[in-house]
Chain A
Amino acid sequence: MSAPISTASRPGTAAERPPAPKFWRVWARIVLRDIKLELRSREALQAMLFYALLIIIIFSFAFEAGAELTSRVGGALLWVAFLFAGLVALDRVFLRELPEASLLGFQISPASRTALLAGKFTASFLLMIAVELLLLPLFAIFFNPPPEARWGMIILVLLAGTWALAASGTYFSALSLHTRYRALLLPLLLLPLAIPAIVAMVQATQHLLDGQGEVAYWLRLLVGFDILYTTLGLALADVVIQTE
């Protein structure tokens, strides 16, 4: 990684320091640990599911849901629910590390922070995808999507769109960890950045729901966003992950 800032001041010569663990090992440990912790408590999973379900129900009251509405703005409704549910997950990504100061412990260890961010990203991506896949049938029940909807492609857009939110969101979650009003600041930072991704995922999903219109362009744009912000986030991981 470029510019290791804090490593320079560490005492001890290179010989007596243990070798840094491999990137993928650290990554796998973080992912497995976060999944295990989540499966034990199921806190975030339940909260997100219920929250997104509530949003879908409120939407159906607010808009008088029906097949006509779904073919017009179904993609938007789906993604607004997923976006808010995703924010719940993203807000908590690094919160778990604070009470026992495990983030500080991690920073003292020679493991790379890039691997930590990558692991956190993967774990939150999987959590968001799990919630979305559970919600998709409910959406189909409540909103009567047209029969020509292409669900296989919709799941593909789901993967690319969630990747976009998780990649930039994990980065911002680390960034906003030590700020005031952390829970409020995260959407204030993430939403402006995610605008092009949101446009792309909503447009693609919409076209897939009513079975017409350009999808490839939006999917390409989404993948471009994914690649750019995954790379940029990992490159700047050392900058955003720092404790006081």
Chain B
Amino acid sequence: MASTTSQPSHAQAQVDSKARQTGWTALIILALLLMEWALVEALKIAPPISIVAKHPHKMAIYMRIFYVHVPAFMAGFTAFFVNFLASAAYLWKRSLKSDALAIAGAEVGVVFTSIGLITGPIWAKPIWGIWWTWDPRLTLTLVLWVMYVSYLMLRQLTPTNEQQPRLAAALAIFFFFDVPIDYMAIRWWRTQHPQPVLFGGANSGLDPRMATALWCGVAAFLLLAGLLFRLRYRLECDRQRIAVLRREAALRET
């Protein structure tokens, strides 16, 4: 991003924007290709084995949604974490850039967590026979989603002036520290969700071909989330600049 303090010459700015445009297009094409590859890996190459061992083989087709479900959550949770870091940074330095990062993090996070929360029940219905259960991990994820929707509600109902970034950051900090307590409150119910396959312990781990499909998916989703994040961040920066220009114009008129 060209900073507002150093004013580059018009020609220089044009070259910059052209280079940025090219880089942007390249990233979008890369994301599309990665998505494509992840899809092929997930639907064709990955062996039809269910991660839940006791399930009959023909059920394993449902398991392929796993390659969307897990990457979506990884992208979503990463975005939420960015929101927390940006909110803390805002309270510390009071820079509007951090606030733009926080907005982008929350919105992208809600989108990807929603994808995870929708794909989960689609898998659960044929495998567990129910759409939803109040299992700790499901509950915690839903609570997390609810919290960030609540955060976006606050942003929507607060006037867009100096107040909003401050209040939103104050809320984000409160919510972030709630997650471990939520975990402790919720884990006392029994667990129905399959145990972690990644980083889970001695018996966890995937067939190598499944791992390839999964990591392709993760890379594709993270890249997509990153692109959306950057887009939302720049939109917010533009909105902030317009607000500043408006205020200056109003001052000049009076």
Contacts and interface: CB of A to CB of B under 8 A. Distances in A.
Chain A CB within 10 Å, residue with most, of B94, B171, B186: B171
Contacts of A192: 143, 146-147, 150, 175, 178
Interface of B: 91-92, 94, 143, 146-147, 150, 153-154, 157-159, 161, 163, 166-167, 169-171, 173-175, 177-178, 181-182, 184-186, 188
Interface in A159-215: 168, 171-172, 175-176, 178-181, 185, 188-189, 192-193, 195-197, 199-200
Chain A CB within 10 Å, residue with most, of B91, B143, B167, B169: B167
Contact of B91 (A178, A199, A239): A239
Contacts of B92: 3
A79 to B, nearest CB: 14
Given A180-B157, A188-B150, A189-B171, A224 B177 contact: no
Contact of B154 (A168, A179, A244): A179
16 contacts: A176-B154, A178-B158, A178-B163, A179-B157, A188-B153, A189-B150, A189-B171, A192-B150, A193-B178, A195-B178, A195-B182, A224-B181, A228-B181, A229-B174, A236-B173, A239-B91
B138 to A, nearest CB: 14
A193 B175 CA distance: 6
A217 interface: yes
A5 B158 CA distance: 21
A115 to B, nearest CB: 18
Contacts of A228: 177, 181
Interface string A224-244: 110011001000100110101
A221 interface: yes
Nearest to B90: A239
Contact of A232 (B94, B147, B173, B188): B173
Nearest to A214: B188
A236 B177 CA distance: 13
A115 B8 CA distance: 49
Contacts of B91: 3, 236, 239
Nearest to B169: A239
A5 B93 CA distance: 11
A199 B181 CA distance: 11
Nearest to A199: B185
Contacts of A221: 181, 184-185
Chain A CB within 10 Å, residue with most, of B147, B185, B186: B185
B167 A179 contact: yes
Contacts of B169: 239
B69 to A, nearest CB: 23
Interface string A1-13: 0010100000000
A234 B184 CA distance: 24
Nearest to B189: A199
Contact of A168 (B159, B173, B174, B184): B174
B177 A232 contact: yes
Contacts of A236: 91, 170, 173-174
A135 to B, nearest CB: 25
A185 B146 CA distance: 14
A14 B184 CA distance: 48
Given A181-B157, A188-B150, A195 B174 contact: no
Given A3-B91, A196-B182, A199-B185, 10 more contacts: A3-B92, A175-B170, A178-B158, A179-B154, A188-B153, A195-B143, A196-B184, A217-B188, A229-B174, A232-B173
